[in-house]
């Protein structure tokens, strides 16, 4: 089972990129983030054999999960705050695997209400994972976490020291989720530096390889046992009018 995640930064602008990439890679599942629209071009992907689940929102956020196999939608709302209307969460079940697609809040600037919202969101995610690990179902959490886990996951740790993606409280909240028993699929197989998934549009970040690793695939123990490979596909980041993120993929046995 080939599973991918990609923050496309507007599905409307990136539609041709996504279609081209799907044709070349044909993943069983693609989880997308930052669709930036209320409507989703479902027919474009249905024509390619994909079934679609999505949660849209005008202008901001938005997540979608595409699958070659039947999709059961569990929920499009992260439990723990009924007043939260941001489209950042989509939980589905495909081929017996629960797939949690997330667009975790950025959190900047940290001296605004955005940062406590991020930390609260991470705590809600932790609670959800806590509930799920009692089930026997295998599950994974994938998407744009907006968390740089370690110094080695950014080109210049000092430049990120006070950023919401890298503050000690942010990394502690991320570790608290991992410590429930999840495995970072990419880190497990490729623990070295320079495994970036995002490069800023500004200041030649892509040409200078000044990136950060913030898109992750976290596996429950039963899925960690099935992990065959995990890699970041840098190719689409080099395309004309690219998203600032590039896809991450995991291949699971069975």
Partner DNA sequence: ATGGCTTTATGCTAAAGA
Measure the CA–CA gap between 239 and 246, rounded to whole angstroms: 10
Which of 139/166 has CB closer to DNA? 166
Measure the CA–CA gap between 89 and 134, rounded to whole angstroms: 20
Q: Which stretch binds DNA (CB under 7 A): 18-26, 56-64, 123-131, 169-177?
A: 56-64
Measure the CA–CA gap between 223 and 17, rounded to whole angstroms: 29
Q: How many CA atoms lie within 13 A of 242 on its CB side?
A: 21
The 154-183 contact track toward DNA, x by CB under 7 A, reads -----x-----x------------------
The reply to whether 62 sits near DNA by the rule CB under 7 A is no
The reply to whether 12 sits near DNA by the rule CB under 7 A is yes
Q: Which stretch binds DNA (CB under 7 A): 2-10, 67-75, 122-130, 226-234?
A: 2-10
Q: Locate tokens 């439990």: which residue?
A: 79
Q: Which stretch binds DNA (CB under 7 A): 70-78, 90-98, 200-208, 216-224?
A: 200-208
Can you tell me whether residue 166 is helix, strand or coil?
coil
How many chain residues bind DNA (CB under 7 A)? Answer: 32
Measure the CA–CA gap between 75 and 86, rounded to whole angstroms: 14
Residues 46-58: b if buried by 16+ CB within 10 A, e if exposed: eeeebbbbbbbbe
In the region spanning residues 24 to 43, those forming contacts with DNA, defined by CB under 7 A, are: 34, 36-38
Question: Quick one: angle between helices 168-178 and 114-132, nearest 10?
Answer: 10
Selected from 2, 114, 133, 234, the binder of DNA by CB under 7 A is 114
The reply to whether 201 sits near DNA by the rule CB under 7 A is yes
* Token reading at 101: 């697609």
The reply to whether 146 sits near DNA by the rule CB under 7 A is yes
CB atoms within 10 A of CB 129: 20
* Nearest approach, Cβ of residue 154 and DNA (Å): 9
Q: Which residues pair with 98 in a beta bridge?
A: 93, 139
The reply to whether 197 sits near DNA by the rule CB under 7 A is no
Which of 10/77 has CB closer to DNA? 10
**Cα 114 → chain centroid:** 19
Task: Tell which residue, 248, 132, 35, 84, has the closest CA to residue 76.
Answer: 84
The reply to whether 10 sits near DNA by the rule CB under 7 A is yes
* Nearest approach, Cβ of residue 162 and DNA (Å): 9
Which of 93/155 has CB closer to DNA? 155
CB atoms within 10 A of CB 253: 9
The reply to whether 218 sits near DNA by the rule CB under 7 A is no
Selected from 244, 246, 249, 250, the binder of DNA by CB under 7 A is 244
Give the residues lining the site for DNA (CB under 7 A). 7, 9-10, 12-13, 34, 36-38, 58-60, 105-106, 108-109, 114, 144, 146, 159, 165, 198, 200-204, 212, 214, 241, 244-245
């Amino acid at each position: 089972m080939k599973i991918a995640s990609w923050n496309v930064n507007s599905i409307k602008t990136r539609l041709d990129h996504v279609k081209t990439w799907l044709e070349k890679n044909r993943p069983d599942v693609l989880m997308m983030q930052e669709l930036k629209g209320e409507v989703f071009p479902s027919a474009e992907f249905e024509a390619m054999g994909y079934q679609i689940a999505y949660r849209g929102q005008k202008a901001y956020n938005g997540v979608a999960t595409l699958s070659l196999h039947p999709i059961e939608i569990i929920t499009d709302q992260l439990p723990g705050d009924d007043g939260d209307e941001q489209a950042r969460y989509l939980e589905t079940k495909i081929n017996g695997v629960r797939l949690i697609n997330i667009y975790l809040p950025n959190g900047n600037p940290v001296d605004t209400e955005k940062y406590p919202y991020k930390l609260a969101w991470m705590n809600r995610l932790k609670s959800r994972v806590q509930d799920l690990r009692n089930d026997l179902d295998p599950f994974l959490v994938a998407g744009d976490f907006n968390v740089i886990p370690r110094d080695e996951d950014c080109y210049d740790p000092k430049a990120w020291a006070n950023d919401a993606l890298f503050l000690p409280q942010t990394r502690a909240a991320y570790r608290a989720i991992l410590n429930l028993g999840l495995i970072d699929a990419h880190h497990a197989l490729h623990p070295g530096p320079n495994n970036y998934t995002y490069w800023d549009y500004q200041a030649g970040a892509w040409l200078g390889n000044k990136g950060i690793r913030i898109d992750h695939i976290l596996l429950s123990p039963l899925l960690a046992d099935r992990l065959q490979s995990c890699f970041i596909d840098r190719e689409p980041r080099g395309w004309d009018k690219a998203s600032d993120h590039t896809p991450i993929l995991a291949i699971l046995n069975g």
